[in-house]
Chain A
């Protein structure tokens, strides 16, 4: 009973967060707000460098944004920078890390200092090999046939002919 209740609560929280899944950013170059996520879309308005925008969604290399003056349109994704956060929940979408940590801390708070596991340069520099952990990886390994079926579920279509990208001189 309590399990179903907590599951329902979790789903409610997930839903609420998902609904409010926009985020704030600033433009880092002056440019044009356009009517769709492609370079030949019509210009909606000019946007100066440093303008605050709300990011609604991403599609390919474009963000759907709203300006502080209420104009709606699309900007190339590299023309904005998300506002700094300590949690890293900058991009639009669900803040899974906070959900995970609040579930784990149980205090309902977002600061879960208990049980947080770090991994820093010192941990790597002093690591003791764990060959048994490597052997356990076999249990989870996929076979090519499974990976192909898994791709077909979406479906994901392989495009083997896409060529490698050339290095661009700065």
Chain B
């Protein structure tokens, strides 16, 4: 598949080249950029791409200013990530300042969930389900691959356009590629991944939660909460625009769990008390903030 895409892009170039006049197109440069777009990113490159994607996401919604809550989600998250095939990534977790319901992952180990989603959970096993799903996106490189694919498509189109315009080609295609990846981030996170990526992340997420010692049915419980929430409400807009319907996810995930005899793990920990303690702290801190507003907010 990758090869076919590469052949397509190169084919476009070859078709376009005679129109442009070989001297004016820096063919070497274009071939190098295409090669780069088709080479799997190294882990360092993945982390760098992820940092840019994370910066864009946090630009839309900042982390909440509550260190106990942030440290808590980092410990839960890292404990689950340690059960994955990529335990050594620099994992970072954060709760972001939105009352809407959603969670995100970015390449290289960034995982964010909204305060709105956190406040719709009931125990740590449910949180583990959500974080396990997001960690799985990172482990399976869903966003990384989608961002690279977006960059490749842009590059192919661009190369053809450069040829068709038959004008002198003088800008640095490598820099253009970087810009394309950054704008691809905004497009990808407002449109979402392929449906199959989401279903795969559900299936891996419950395994990671079970390996971490949690009741793996937490994710199904969260999906049932989402299923009962008005899909047209503003708090669900982003989630519904970027994910399959909760009912579809429940149907697919529950069948896979039944086939895997996950009933065996139904008695594992929910860690409800610890979760409730943290959430009560979050609510008490918000109430205190309201009574004595900070000088700038």
Binding site for B on A (CB under 8 A): 3, 6-7, 10, 14, 37-39, 58-62, 77-78, 81-94, 96-97, 99-101, 103-104, 106, 116-131, 133-134, 136-144, 146-148, 150-151, 153-160, 162-168, 170
- Choose, from B1-9, B114-122, B144-152, B173-181, the stretch at the interface: B114-122
Q: CB-CB < 8 A to A96: which residues of B?
A: 118-121, 279, 283
- Contact A147–B237 (Cβ < 8 Å): no
Which of chain A's residues has its CB closest to B73's CB? A140
**Of A61, A89, A126, A167, which one neighbours B217 at CB under 8 angstroms?**
A61
Give B195 Cβ to nearest chain A Cβ, in Å.
Answer: 12
Give A63 Cβ to nearest chain B Cβ, in Å.
Answer: 9
- Contact A97–B120 (Cβ < 8 Å): yes
Binding site for A on B (CB under 8 A): 51-52, 54-63, 67, 70-71, 74-79, 82-83, 87, 90-94, 96-102, 110, 114-116, 118-124, 182, 186-187, 189-191, 199-200, 203-204, 206-207, 210-215, 217, 220-221, 224-230, 233-235, 237-238, 241-242, 247, 250-252, 254-257, 259-260, 262-263, 265-269, 271, 274, 276, 279-280, 282-284, 286-288, 290-291
Q: CB-CB < 8 A to A83: which residues of B?
A: 228
Q: Do A140 and B283 form a contact, CB below 8 Å, given A117-B61, A119-B238, A130-B59?
A: no
Give B245 Cβ to nearest chain A Cβ, in Å.
Answer: 12
Query: Dominant SS at the B interface?
Result: helix
Those 4 A-B pairs whose CB atoms lie nearest each other, nearest first: A60-B266, A156-B213, A90-B228, A93-B122
Q: CB-CB < 8 A to A89: which residues of B?
A: 120
- The answer for the CA separation of A121 and B104 in the assembled complex, in Å, is 13
- Contact A158–B259 (Cβ < 8 Å): no
| Cross-chain pairs A/B with CB under 8 angstroms, 25 sampled | A10-B287, A60-B215, A61-B262, A77-B220, A81-B224, A82-B228, A93-B122, A99-B283, A103-B287, A117-B97, A118-B99, A118-B235, A121-B238, A123-B61, A124-B57, A127-B59, A130-B55, A131-B51, A140-B67, A142-B91, A150-B76, A156-B271, A158-B82, A164-B204, A165-B207
- Contact B283–A77 (Cβ < 8 Å): no
- The answer for the CA separation of A164 and B85 in the assembled complex, in Å, is 11
Q: Do A160 and B266 form a contact, CB below 8 Å, given A124-B238, A142-B78?
A: no
- Contact A125–B190 (Cβ < 8 Å): yes
- The answer for the CA separation of A37 and B59 in the assembled complex, in Å, is 45
Q: CB-CB < 8 A to B122: which residues of A?
A: 91-94
Q: Do A62 and B287 form a contact, CB below 8 Å, given A128-B59, A170-B252?
A: no
Q: Do A156 and B214 form a contact, CB below 8 Å, given A61-B266, A81-B228, A129-B56?
A: yes
Q: CB-CB < 8 A to B79: which residues of A?
A: 147-148, 150-151, 156
**Of A91, A94, A142, A166, which one neighbours B225 at CB under 8 angstroms?**
A91
- Contact B114–A119 (Cβ < 8 Å): yes
- Contact A151–B212 (Cβ < 8 Å): yes
- Contact A60–B228 (Cβ < 8 Å): no
Q: Most chain-B CB neighbours within 10 Å: which of A124, A128, A130, A162?
A: A124
Q: CB-CB < 8 A to A81: which residues of B?
A: 224, 227-228, 247
